[in-house]
Chains A and B, each alone.
Chain A
């Protein structure tokens, strides 16, 4: 039921279609914009139109890119022998923040989800296989989401990679830092056990 008239309601409707924005937040953002400095609003408008005009997906890895290659694929200092496979571009950002990984990425574009009509052919597996043909890559780190769809996607990928001579690993799903052990569920605790680390090595 529209509460406001014309353009204000149009703005609220558009904002309400964004992920994670409910009707209340949409209203709050709309009124914030109405009261904001016109220059600030102009900058937002420009950022929105430029992102659609300039940004595409990297031809190599599927990450977000300005141009045909993303920043990471174009960087010669990155280790070309290791590829970290993730579901979405936002996962690249998350792993980059850790500064733990110096190799390159491969973005699948999601996880296998039969109930949503997403099978292996809908994801960028064949592009990954093509990257392995040169023989330069020696290690694959699978970093799909730590839920069952992510796990099933990882098992599909592990099977796909089994004929190659590669070091294949999957990110350990540990216990959430800051939590109490007794509250961890058995699956999380079990996976943390599998991925335990030697302290005297």
Chain B
């Protein structure tokens, strides 16, 4: 059976039988892969904690007919382990992992999604920015890579130059006065600026934002993600948004 090697991030795990687990991994070159880790639930397993959600590993697997089998896993980054020690970080990480799972397909290469995911978990584990900001930046960018970039400045419908006051999720973002559908919201201009900063990676600006813009921005981002992903992202409802006094500026 053909053997392959790849690096990947564990997205989620499922129990299989007495001691095994099915591990869903987003790999660098093969897209999403589902593979069996034999004996991983036994305390003496040589995989140890490496195949838990949020862990970054160098894998060796052999291809199977329906499921691959993991023969070796070497730890690259223990992001999952670092993040589990802070509840807010962990819940943000789980939402990120679920989103990555939903935006990728098995055996379809998704290099950009892989790099975004690694970047988000690395940033979250680094602890320099508030967890919900990292989550929102990831969601906006991952949706953009998937072809659903929100329009935060110009009109999402006709392209008229912004800034515009109205925002309409189903239309794709900001809308001009003549395109504005009924039911559009009117977020604070500072909120759209924050989302723009998150999308472009302008952390200095994002860190300077206030709690009100962050809250409104998170709401818009979550609504945007839920709109585009059928069935929504379950873990988004569990994200801990208790302000962390150590990290807000």
Inter-chain contact A119/B81, CB cutoff 8 Å: no
Inter-chain contact A119/B85, CB cutoff 8 Å: no
| Nearest CB of chain B from residue A146's CB, rounded to whole Å | 8
A119 to B235, CA, bound (A): 9
Q: Which residues of A contact B (CB under 8 A)?
A: 20, 22, 112, 114-115, 117, 119, 147-149, 151-152, 155-156, 159, 176, 178-179, 183-188, 190
Which residues from B are CB-within-8-Å of A176? 43-44
A159 to B86, CA, bound (A): 9
Which residues from A are CB-within-8-Å of B84? 148-149, 151-152, 155
Chain B 32-68: CB-based contact to A (< 8 A → 1; otherwise 0): 0000000000011011111011100000000000000
Inter-chain contact B94/A114, CB cutoff 8 Å: yes
Inter-chain contact A148/B52, CB cutoff 8 Å: yes
Residue of B nearest to A113 (CB): B94
A147 to B54, CA, bound (A): 12
Inter-chain contact B43/A152, CB cutoff 8 Å: no
| Nearest CB of chain A from residue B139's CB, rounded to whole Å | 15
A8 to B19, CA, bound (A): 28
Q: Does B80 contact A (CB under 8 A)?
A: yes
| Nearest CB of chain A from residue B44's CB, rounded to whole Å | 5
Inter-chain contact A148/B48, CB cutoff 8 Å: no
Residue B234 contacts which of A20, A22, A115, A186 (CB distance < 8 angstroms)?
A115
Which residues from B are CB-within-8-Å of A155? 84-87, 90
Inter-chain contact B75/A186, CB cutoff 8 Å: yes
- 14 additional contacts (CB under 8 A) given A152-B91, A155-B86: A114-B237, A117-B234, A119-B237, A148-B52, A148-B81, A151-B81, A176-B43, A179-B44, A184-B48, A185-B46, A185-B49, A186-B50, A187-B49, A190-B81
Of listed A114, A184, A188, residue having the most chain B CB within 10 A: A114
| Nearest CB of chain B from residue A66's CB, rounded to whole Å | 29
Residue of A nearest to B18 (CB): A20
What are 17 A-to-B residue pairs whose CB atoms are below 8 Å? A20-B18, A114-B98, A114-B237, A114-B238, A115-B98, A115-B235, A119-B237, A147-B52, A148-B49, A149-B84, A155-B87, A176-B44, A183-B46, A185-B46, A186-B50, A186-B75, A187-B81
